[in-house]
Amino acid sequence: MNRETGLSRLADEAFDVVVIGGGATGLGAAVDAASRGYRTALIEAGDFASATSSRSTKLVHGGVRYLQQGNVGLVREALRERSTLRRNAPHLVRDLAFVVPAYSRVDLAFYALGLSAYDLLAGHTEFPRSRVVSPSDARALIPNLAPNGLCGGVVYHDGQFDDARLALALARTAVDQGAAVANYVRATGFAYDAGGRVVGVGAIDAESGAGFTIRARAVINATGIFADVVRALDDPAAPPLLAHSRGSHIVASSTALGSAAALLVPKTSDGRVLFALPWHEHTIVGTTDVPVEGPARDPEPSEAEIAYLLATVNRYLATPLARSDILAVFAGLRPLIRRGAMSTARLSREHLVEVSRSGIVTITGGKWTTYRKMAQDAVDVAARRAGLAASPSRTASLPLHGATLAAVHDESLSEYGTDAGSVERLVAEDASLAARLDARLPYTGAQVVYAVRNEMARTVEDVLARRMRALFLDAGAARAAAPRVAALMEAELGRPVTLLGPPR
Ligand SMILES: Cc1cc2nc3c(=O)[nH]c(=O)nc-3n(C[C@H](O)[C@H](O)[C@H](O)COP(=O)(O)OP(=O)(O)OC[C@H]3O[C@@H](n4cnc5c(N)ncnc54)[C@H](O)[C@@H]3O)c2cc1C
């Protein structure tokens, strides 16, 4: 995947479909359109998945919370997509066991009933079914679970993934399927024909400052929390579709749970659920739901959210987490479909496809888990409106870049799937690349070089936050690794690199 090639194609070729936004939804739309045989382009203003799509709770799930809310249709669809994604990206999606602890017999029966409904909705699936376990079995699964008054628990299964790496796999799949793709290219406006129909997207390459027009018969706006901002470039009077809410997470060492299983806190003080999850040898605790005014590029957790997360999870831990145990924090904004003045905790995660008078198709809302279905719906509408030759979606059975069921020789590279050998070959050529970037992190110099050569990494943050997940796991260790990452990137790119991207 090469940025220069992508850029020159964007400026020179005429496309059937151009997608704005390189998060889960936009990248999914590019894969869908390109694999149908449409000439496809995608631009992303920052780095791939740099907005909401790298800041999720990392679950490929139906959503037990939505089941609690009675949203059976959404849960069934998401469970179907859970299986599809695990099948198409087995190197990035894994099965995770969750323990729901119960401190009364009534609660235990209630959770068991709810989760058997979840099993039923999942239908025939490779994820194991839920089961009731004794207090000692629950503590064998999560050694740090608070024992006092524990009546038992229910164990159920869902998928877990690496969101930013899945986004990269999608970008590379789109390129494999023939799409022209570039990060750090922002859509700044639209081109129209004499009848007012959209025929292109005005774009700026943030690195060079060069502006150009991408010609296309169909335009898909998949800019997530920024969807209304991009709609306003087409129609400043368009009424907003979205409300926004912040979800925050804290990250601690793996000893917080001391297990390979996750903990689901079934009832929080604000009527939600909370997860504590093992992820990349650490523990993620999240999330919150705080309504915010509008979209923001780098949302941060408030002190109140951090205190709430600690207090809520500590009610369930034998050895509580202290503020000083937190190694990193991260927050994302949810693009929620606006419906009157309901509280954002109640709004549905369902998606929406809207077509503007000029023909721009906006796809927003939804979840990471349902990105493929969202993308399919958006491309269906865009192709029909633009009069493209009918071609059915192929993504339900399209393996994503790197997909393999085979065990990878070096287990720490398993998320690279079939590309793991290419990372290992870099070490064979230059043994110094085998050294870890920091003793606290599992990442090596070879992964930095690979990210620049093959994954369009342009800044130190691209590498530390999304090609590897250092910034999400241990901010101090990531900061310590930054100079070495910068030196390796500068040698590859032949120019100075910045920590963050160019001004956007
Ligand atoms: C806290 C939290 C936890 C979540 N947890 C889960 C979970 O566990 N499982 C799950 O299934 N879902 C989860 N979700 C939902 C999921 O993360 C989102 O639904 C999904 O990432 C949205 O993807 P997107 O592509 O629509 O938006 P985004 O990821 O925001 O992508 C939009 C992209 O458009 C780009 N862009 C904006 N303007 C322009 C422009 N002018 N030109 C070019 N590009 C532009 C942005 O830079 C951005 O990268 C969670 C969400 C949050 C907030």
**Quick one: which atom of ligand 1 is closest to the CA of 188?**
41
Residue 76 belongs to a domain: no
CA of 236 relative to ligand 1 center, distance in Å: 23
- Ligand 1: which of 242, 277, 329, 368 to mutate, judged by most atoms within 8 Å of the beta carbon? 368
pLDDT value of position 501: 65
pLDDT tens column, 225-276:
999 999 999 999 999 999 999 999 999 999 999 989 999 999 888 888 999 9
Q: What is the residue with the minimal CA distance to atom 2 of ligand 1?
A: 56
The string of pLDDT tens digits covering residues 399-419 is: 999 999 887 778 899 999 999
pLDDT at 340: 52
Domain of 25, CATH number, reads: 3.50.50.60
Distance 396 CA to ligand 1 centre (A): 21
Tell me the pairing of strands 242-253 and 290-292: antiparallel
Using the predicted structure, report yes or no on whether residue 479 has a pLDDT greater than 60: yes
145 and 294 in a common domain: yes
Do 248 and 129 lie in one domain? The reply is yes
The model's pLDDT over 333-386, given as tens digits with 9 standing for 90+, comes to 999 888 652 344 444 458 899 999 999 999 999 999 999 999 999 999 999 999
Same domain, 117 and 247: yes
Q: What angle do CA 331, 42, 491 make, to 5 degrees?
A: 75
pLDDT of residue 349: 53
Domain end (from 285, 300, 335): 335
C-alpha 26 to ligand 1 mean position (Å): 9
Q: How far away, in angstroms, is 50 Cα from ligand 1 center?
A: 8
Distance CA 496, CA 68 (A): 51
Q: What percent of the chain lies above the pLDDT cut of 70?
A: 97
- The residue segments making up the domain with residue 186 are 3-52+165-241+338-397
Same domain (yes/no): 199, 226: yes
Helix (H) or strand (E) holding 199, with range, is strand 198-205
Mean pLDDT lowest among 63-72, 389-398, 418-427:
63-72
Domain match, 392 and 356 both: yes
Model confidence pLDDT, tens digit, residues 272-282: 899 999 999 99
pLDDT score, position 500:
74
pLDDT in tens, 208-229: 999 999 999 999 999 999 999 9
d(CA 247, CA 288): 5
**What separation in Å is there between the alpha carbon of 230 and the centre of ligand 1?**
15
Flag whether pLDDT at 482 surpasses 70. yes
User: Which of residues 311, 335, 359 is at a domain's end?
Assistant: 335
The last residue of a domain, from among 335, 366, 387: 335
Average pLDDT of the residues in 428-446:
97
Q: Which atom of ligand 1 is nearest to the CA of 78?
A: 11
Pocket residue to mutate for ligand 1, from 56, 249, 374, 377, most atoms within 8 A of Cβ: 56
Q: Say whether both 185 and 330 belong to one domain.
A: no
Within 6 A (CB) of ligand 1 lie 20-26, 43-46, 49-53, 55-59, 186-187, 222-226, 230, 247, 287, 332-335, 366-369
The alpha carbon of 335 and the centre of ligand 1 are apart by a number of angstroms equal to 7
494 pLDDT more than 90 = yes
- Residues 147 and 283 placed together within one structural domain of the fold: yes
Gap from CA of 213 to ligand 1 centroid (Å): 25
Please report the atom of ligand 1 found closest to the CA of residue 333.
53
For residues 257 and 330, membership in a common domain is answered with yes
504 has a pLDDT exceeding 70: no
What pLDDT, on the 0 to 100 scale, is given for residue 348? 47
What is the model's pTM? 0.97
Minimum CA distance residue for ligand 1 atom 15: 367
Whether residue 223 lies inside any domain: the answer is yes
Q: Whose CA is nearest to atom 25 of ligand 1?
A: 23
C-alpha 153 to ligand 1 mean position (Å):
33
Rounded to the nearest whole angstrom, what is the distance from the C-alpha of residue 181 to the centroid of ligand 1? 18
Three-class DSSP category at 287: coil
Taking the CA of residue 367 as reference, the ligand 1 atom at the shortest distance is: 19
Q: Report whether pLDDT(502) > 70.
A: no
CA dist 208 and 218 (Å) reads 26
Count structural domains, the chain: 3
Q: Please state, rounded to an integer, the average pLDDT across all residues of the chain.
A: 94
Exposed, middle or buried by CB within 10 Å (0-12, 13-18, 19+), for 390? exposed
* For the CA of 233, the nearest atom of ligand 1: 41
Output the pLDDT for position 345: 44
Lowest mean per-residue pLDDT among 72-81, 242-251, 347-356, 467-476? 347-356
The tens digit of pLDDT for each residue in 28-69 reads 999 999 999 999 999 999 999 999 999 999 999 998 888 878
Residue 95 confidence class, pLDDT cut points 50, 70, 90: very high
Both 415 and 276 in one domain: the answer is: no
Would you give the distance in Å from CA 152 to the centre of its chain? 33
Alpha-carbon torsion (468, 469, 474, 476), positive or negative: positive
- Average pLDDT on 408-437 reads 94
Retrieve residue 391's tokens.
């071609």
Kindly give the number of the ligand 1 atom that is closest to the alpha carbon of 247. 1
Q: Which atom of ligand 1 is nearest to the CA of 59?
A: 8
Report d(CA 370, CA 335) in Å as an integer.
14
Instruction: Please tell me the distance between residue 491's alpha carbon and the centre of ligand 1 in angstroms.
Output: 32
Atom 27, ligand 1: residue with shortest CA distance: 224
* Whether residue 44 is found in the same domain as residue 176: yes
CA dihedral 451, 452, 453, 454 (to 10 degrees): 40
CATH number of residue 120's parent domain: 3.30.9.10
Going from the Cα of 395 to the center of ligand 1, the distance in angstroms, rounded, reads: 20
295 CA distance to ligand 1 centroid (A)?
Answer: 11
Residue 414 forms beta bridges with which residues?
A: none
Instruction: Please state, in angstroms and as integers, the Cα–Cα distance from residue 156 to each residue in 67, 94, 131, 435, following that order.
Output: 14, 14, 7, 39
Across 119-145, average pLDDT: 95
